[in-house]
Structure 1
Amino acid sequence: MSNSSLFAQTDLQDVRIVASDLDGTLLLPDHTLGELTKNTLKKLHDQGMTFIFATGRHHIDVESFRASAGIPAYMITSNGARVHSPENELLYSKNLPENVIQPIVDIIKHDPTHRIHIYRSNDWLTDKEDLKLSQHHQESGFNYALFDVDNAPTEDIAKLFFTHPDHDHLAEYEQQLKEKFGDQISIAFSTPWCLEMMAPHVSKGDALQAVAHKLGKDLEHCIAFGDGMNDVEMLQAAHKGLVMGTAHSKVMQALPNNEVIGCCADEAVARYLEDHLL
């Protein structure tokens, strides 16, 4: 039995912060919030707990989920490059270094099978149409504009990411990027098909610590849920980090002692909170 599974239920009485990833974790497979999840989040708020949406998505996109849930939640977005308060105040912001943007784009721009995306503070740019990805943002209506790969914007870049249906193919680019840029950037997979680059030392874990500090708490008061490699630092930082049963094998390997729960289709996060915290 792992240390995580020995976590006593009485310890959960001290939890004041709950953080969760969205896609593959809190959201249903159609990328919406289920009714059980909405009701559970309202109960958490009514009992004085702070909820944090912690995601690779853009904060404009996440605002719609916060509104749908009907609670004043914090938002960790772009994998930790941005943090917003319940009042939408920008609490934390880190941009990719301007001098690395075009060189990163140049590595992959000649490969037509990939799509290149950029998140800035107020918009989403991509090098070609991606209607499937647009469907992930149907609830918010947040959508992209096209940019020129030979003249990529360099200012105010929260993250840059590549999408491709073959994880192994993206992993080859991950290795190239690490060799070329080293500690100039942070790299993480948000899904097996989405490779993301942020500023150095940006992660959901660091952003979670920033929110806890703002609240005057420490992460001994926090539990977190996730399913992607971009969730690993957050799940390690929280007092109890729970891994979705549908998580990629790399996540399971990185967190072998963390408790595994069900899948997003069954609203497993809400069910866990109802059974163990509420």
Structure 2
Amino acid sequence: MCRYKAIVSDLDGTLFDADSRITPRTAAALRAAAQAGLKIILATGRHHTDLRGIAEKGLGIPVYRVSENGGVVFSPQEERLVYHPMAPDIVRRLTEVMAEAPREVYLHLYKGERWFVNKYDAVSVTHQNQSGFLFELADYSTFPDFEDCTKMCFMARDERAVEFMDRTVRKVRDPRLSFFWTMNTCFEAMDIHADKGVAVAGILQREGIRPEEVLAFGDGLNDLNMLRLAGKGIVMGNAVPQLAEALPHNERIGTNREEAVAQYIEQHVLNGK
């Protein structure tokens, strides 16, 4: 009998392959786990509308959706369980930082049901083609307000841009703000209450599932608390070094390019090894 009652997985760099998609093998493994009675929880930094499209197209089964790094949570029945927007004055201050930014810095902003970017980039095009959630080009200096913003993502395209983000964005210090690197070139800012681990803990309480009955997969620092919470927190082979350093005793598996999540579920959940 399988000791797990829930599977939690990050998307980019974890569940997704190199082309940012859920492969047929991975989808089949998750569907089989769901059919066996396990709750499936997708946890990502992406927008909730983006995640809904990915879940519908990639899996086709009802799942819990943790988006915006825990800032928004939806149940399989489409109930919004969690909503943590950022303080508008913080968002405005962070957008003003962009006036000093090199051209190689891109700012993505999630506001309500919309996704804004300040510059056209290939990553955004890939994401919108994948889920059908379309981005909008925007000049943030013209925004009348910054209500209902759930996440900001600063993307760097070269080393100079990375240095700018690490040096300048961190100057906007506020106890209501949480930020961290999710990839070597992606710096994200959210409300202090947005946390994948806290969001998943709420779902487990709702379902009557103990943390030790949870299997979780992740590759970024935004997955840290989620992996610490789970009875079995798996670190991807392609994880950022800081995550592996923070969880030195957690099992490490193959990479997302190798469909390592699917392999693990097949061997340790579906076959009960």
**Which one-letter code corresponds to 1:137 in the other structure?**
Q
What is the CA–CA distance in structure 1 between the aligned matches of 2:110 and 2:87, rounded to whole Å? 14
**Which one-letter code corresponds to 1:226 in the other structure?**
G
What's the counterpart of residue 125 of structure 2? Answer: 134
What's the counterpart of residue 28 of structure 1? Answer: 17
**Which one-letter code corresponds to 2:14 in the other structure?**
T
What's the counterpart of residue 57 of structure 1? Answer: 46
What is the CA–CA distance in structure 2 between the aligned matches of 1:175 and 1:250, rounded to whole Å? 18
SS at structure 1 position matched to 2:128: coil
For the pair 1:274 / 2:266, whether they are aligned, the reply is: yes
Equivalent pairs: percent with the same residue?
A: 33
Shift of 1:168: 7.4
Within the candidate set 180, 185, 193, 2:185 is matched to 193
Shift of 1:102: 1.1
The count of residues paired between Structure 1 and Structure 2 equals: 267
1:11-56, CA deviations, whole angstroms, 9 ceiling, x for partnerless residues? xx33111100011100111111111111111111111100011001
Kept after mapping to 1: 8 A contact 2:111/2:146: no
Kept after mapping to 1: 8 A contact 2:128/2:135: no
Within the candidate set 196, 207, 219, 1:215 is matched to 207
Shift of 1:190: 2.2
**Which one-letter code corresponds to 1:110 in the other structure?**
E
Within the candidate set 169, 172, 175, 1:180 is matched to 172
Task: Please identify runs of 4+ aligned residues in structure 1 that moved more than 4 A.
Answer: none
What is the CA–CA distance in structure 1 between the aligned matches of 2:18 and 2:122, rounded to whole Å? 17
Kept after mapping to 1: 8 A contact 2:53/2:133: no
Kept after mapping to 2: 8 A contact 1:102/1:151: no
Kept after mapping to 2: 8 A contact 1:16/1:49: yes
What's the counterpart of residue 91 of structure 1? Answer: 81
Where structure 1 has 5 or more consecutive residues not aligned to the other structure, the ranges are: 1-9
**What do you get for the CA RMSD once the two structures are aligned?**
1.8
What is the CA–CA distance in structure 1 between the aligned matches of 2:160 and 2:25, rounded to whole Å? 36
1:220-244, CA deviations, whole angstroms, 9 ceiling, x for partnerless residues? 2211101011111111111111011
What's the counterpart of residue 205 of structure 1? Answer: 197
SS at structure 1 position matched to 2:17: coil
1:193-212, CA deviations, whole angstroms, 9 ceiling, x for partnerless residues? 11110001311111111111
**Which one-letter code corresponds to 2:31 in the other structure?**
K
Shift of 1:175: 5.0
What is the CA–CA distance in structure 2 between the aligned matches of 1:254 and 1:137, rounded to whole Å? 33
Shift of 1:179: 4.2
What is the CA–CA distance in structure 1 between the aligned matches of 2:48 and 2:104, rounded to whole Å? 27
Kept after mapping to 1: 8 A contact 2:71/2:193: no
What's the counterpart of residue 3 of structure 1? Answer: none
What is the CA–CA distance in structure 2 between the aligned matches of 1:138 and 1:116, rounded to whole Å? 19
Aligned pairs for 1:1-278 (under 5 A) are: 13-67=2-56, 68-111=58-101, 112-152=103-143, 153-166=145-158, 169-170=161-162, 173-174=165-166, 176-278=168-270
Kept after mapping to 2: 8 A contact 1:25/1:227: yes
Kept after mapping to 2: 8 A contact 1:167/1:192: no
Kept after mapping to 2: 8 A contact 1:174/1:187: no
1:56-77, CA deviations, whole angstroms, 9 ceiling, x for partnerless residues? 1112111222223122110000
Shift of 1:254: 1.6
Kept after mapping to 2: 8 A contact 1:41/1:71: no
Kept after mapping to 1: 8 A contact 2:104/2:158: no
Between stretches 147-156 and 225-234, larger displacement belongs to 147-156
Query: Alpha carbons of 1:264 and 1:120: their partners in 2 closer, same or farther (altered >3 Å)?
Result: same
What is the CA–CA distance in structure 2 between the aligned matches of 1:168 and 1:229, rounded to whole Å? 22
Query: Alpha carbons of 1:168 and 1:47: their partners in 2 closer, same or farther (altered >3 Å)?
Result: farther
**Which one-letter code corresponds to 1:190 in the other structure?**
T
**Which one-letter code corresponds to 1:121 in the other structure?**
G
1:87-138, CA deviations, whole angstroms, 9 ceiling, x for partnerless residues? 2211101011111111111123332221111112311011121233221332
